[in-house]
Chain A
Amino acid sequence: MPSDPDRFVRIERVTKGYGTLRALDDVSFSIDEGEIFGYIGPNGAGKTTTIKILVGILRSFEGTALVDGHDVRRELPAVQRLLGYLPQEAAFQEWRTVDHALTTFGRLSGLSRADLERRKKEVLGLLGIPEVQHRRIVQLSGGTAQKVGMAQAILHGPRLLVLDEPMAGLDPASRFQFKEVFRALARDGTTIFFSSHILSDVQDVATRVGILNRGRAVHVGTLEELKARLQVGRSVEIVLAHDSGRRPDFAARADVLGVDRFAENHLVVRLRPDADVDAAIDGFVRDLLASGCRIRSISPVSPNLEELYVRFVAGDRP
C-alpha cells in the first residue's frame, strides 16, 4: 500500500533478493519527521538490507525509497546531504585518530573548517568522550569506538539519522546515554531510524516500531497499536504475605485466560483482552481476603515489547 506522501521517509513496496534468497519482500512503511522509529526483527530478517537501501549503499532493488521526497536512487546526493549513518560496526582506517576521522567525515559532509572545530567539541562532549579526541581509534574500547561512530553520524547535524544496531556492545550507562542523545536529537527535529536486538531499548525510546520477519514488515505502528492488533490482554501480578491454603481458583473466572505461578506466594493472572482490569483486581482482592489470604501487593502488568515480538516472530521460525 503506498504510504502518505507527506511523510519524511517512505519505503514503498521494496523487494530485494540475493540470488534465490528474498531478503526483503514487498516492504512498505513511512516515518514522520522528528520521529524515533525502532526497527526490529530476528537475525537475517532484512533489517540491515533495508538500512543499506535507505542510505544508498544498495542501489539495486525493486520499489521506491524516498527521503524528504528525494528518491535514493535517482537523487542520491540530495538524500546524502540529509543523512547521518552509523553502520553495525563502524570501521575506520587503522591510522586514524578520532580528530582525523571527524575532520575527514565532517568536511566530506560539507562542514566548514570553523564549524567543524566547534561541532567536534560539541558532539564529543555530548557523547561524554572529549578526552579521546587525539587518540587513535584502534586503541579505544569497543564502546568508545561505537561512540566515535555515533559522533561522525551526528557531526554535521543531519535531518535523518540511520543507525544499525547502535547500542549493541554498549554497557548499560552508555546505552542510557545513547537513548538520551536520541531524545535530544528528536526534540530538535531529527528523525531517527534505528534497528536493534535490544527490545527494551526500543521500547524505551521509539515512538513507533516496525517488526520485520523473513523479509516482510509484519507490523508498523505504536506499541499500543501493536497490543490492540494482537488483542493482548493485561496481566495482574499478585504477591501474598500469607497463603491460607484455601486460595481461590482464579483460572475458573470468565475474565481470566490462565494463571502462571512463579513461587508459592507469587502469581501472575493473565486476563482476557476484553477484561476490565480494575474490576478483575477488585474481584481478586475480595476473593483472596475471603479465603483468609493476606496480600502483600497486587498490580496490573502490561505486556512488554519482548512478549509482543515473540508472538509475531518466535512461532514463525523455520
Chain B
Amino acid sequence: MSLPLLFEDELRGFYRSKVMTVLWIGLPALAGFLYYLSPDTAGIPFAAFAGLIVSSIGGVLASVMLTTSILNERSRHVYDLFVVRPVRRMDILLAKFLAVYGCVVLAGALALALGIGIDYGLRGTPPAVGPTLSFLGIMLGMLAVSCSAGVLIGVAAPSVLVGVILVVYGGNQLSAVVILPVLTLSSEPWFPLLPGAGISAALLALAVVLFDRKAL
C-alpha cells in the first residue's frame, strides 16, 4: 500500500520546505491582522471572520500550491521515478491532496481556535456553538473543493501560468458553490460538507483518470 508512504513523504516535503510553518502561523496571523484592520467587522465574531478568511485565502493558497507543484513535477518528469515502482498512480495524487488539505484544515482549525479564544477574551463569553460549527463546515467544504480543483488543474493544464490563472479564477469560484446550499436550504453545520465532498470526489476522480492516461 503506497498511499501512507507517499502521504508521509509529502508531509515531510512540506515540513522541510517550510510550507507548514507559513500556513500554520501565517493564516491565523493574517486573519487576526485583517480583522484588526477591517472597519466593517464590528459585531462579527472573530472566529467566524477567521473561518471565512481561511476558507477563501487558504483555499486559494492550497489550490495554487497543488497546481504549481504538480505542473512543475510533471514538466521535470519527477513522477517517472515513482510510477516505475509498485505505486498506484492515483495514490500519488491522493497523497498530495490529503497532505495539502490536512495542512490547510489544521491552519484553519488553529485560526478558529485563536478566534474563539479572542472572542472569549473580548466578550467574556464563548461564541455560539452552532454558527461556529457552521463556519467550520463551510471551511472544510470550501477547502476540499479548492484543493481538488488544484489537483485537477495541475494534471490538466498545459503550463504553470495557465494553471495558476485557471486555479485562481476557476478553483476559488467553484469552492464558493459550497456556501449556496447553506444560504438556500439548511444551516445545519454538516450541510456544506455534502456538496464539498461530492464536488471534490468528482474533481479528484477526473484528475486520476487524466493522470492515468497521460504519458507523464
Q: Hey, which bits of chain A sit against chain B, CB under 8 A?
A: 52, 55-58, 77, 80-81, 83, 85, 87, 89-96, 100, 104-105, 107-110, 152
Contacts and interface: CB of A to CB of B under 8 A. Distances in A.
Interface string B1-19: 0100110010011001100
A94 B19 CA distance: 13
A83 B2 CA distance: 17
Given A85-B80, A93-B73, A108 B85 contact: yes
A237 B80 CA distance: 48
B209 interface: no
Nearest to A90: B81
Contact of A80 (B5, B76, B85, B215): B85
B67 to A, nearest CB: 16
B80 to A, nearest CB: 5
A96 B216 CA distance: 21
Contacts of A108: 2, 5-6, 82, 85-87
Contacts of B83: 56-57
A93 B92 CA distance: 14
16 contacts: A52-B215, A57-B83, A57-B84, A77-B86, A87-B80, A89-B76, A92-B81, A94-B17, A95-B13, A100-B12, A105-B81, A105-B85, A107-B5, A108-B6, A109-B85, A110-B86
Contacts of A52: 215
Nearest to A107: B5
A55 B77 CA distance: 14
Contacts of B73: 91, 93
A85 B84 CA distance: 7
Contact of B216 (A57, A83, A89, A104): A57
B5 A91 contact: no
Contacts of A58: 215
A9 to B, nearest CB: 15
Nearest to A149: B81
A149 to B, nearest CB: 8
Contacts of B17: 94-95
Given A81-B86, A108-B2, 20 more contacts: A57-B84, A57-B216, A80-B85, A83-B84, A85-B80, A89-B76, A89-B77, A91-B73, A91-B77, A92-B78, A92-B81, A93-B73, A94-B17, A95-B16, A95-B17, A104-B5, A107-B5, A108-B6, A108-B85, A108-B86
A104 B216 CA distance: 20
A217 B38 CA distance: 70
A91 B78 contact: yes
A109 B85 CA distance: 6
Contacts of B215: 52, 57-58
Interface of B: 2, 5-6, 9, 12-13, 16-17, 73, 76-78, 80-87, 215-216
Given A57-B216, A104-B9, A108-B5, A152 B81 contact: yes
Contacts of A105: 81, 85
A107 B4 CA distance: 11
A89 B80 CA distance: 10
Contacts of B13: 93, 95-96
Contacts of A96: 13
A38 to B, nearest CB: 21
Contacts of B2: 108
A56 B78 contact: no
Contacts of B16: 95, 100
B81 A87 contact: yes
Contacts of A94: 17
B168 to A, nearest CB: 23
Given A57-B215, A104-B5, A108-B5, A87 B77 contact: yes
Contacts of B6: 108
Contacts of A93: 13, 73, 78
Nearest to A110: B86
Contacts of A107: 5
A96 B77 CA distance: 15
A94 B14 CA distance: 11
A34 B9 CA distance: 34
A91 B76 contact: yes
Contacts of A109: 85-86
Contacts of B12: 100
A191 B16 CA distance: 37
A220 to B, nearest CB: 24
Contact of B84 (A55, A100, A104, A110): A55
A57 to B, nearest CB: 6
B103 to A, nearest CB: 14
Contacts of B86: 77, 80-81, 108-110
Residue from A56, A81, A94 with most neighbouring chain B CB atoms (10 Å): A94
- Most chain A beta-carbon neighbours within 10 Å: one of B5, B6, B81: B81
B3 to A, nearest CB: 11
Contacts of B80: 57, 85, 87, 91
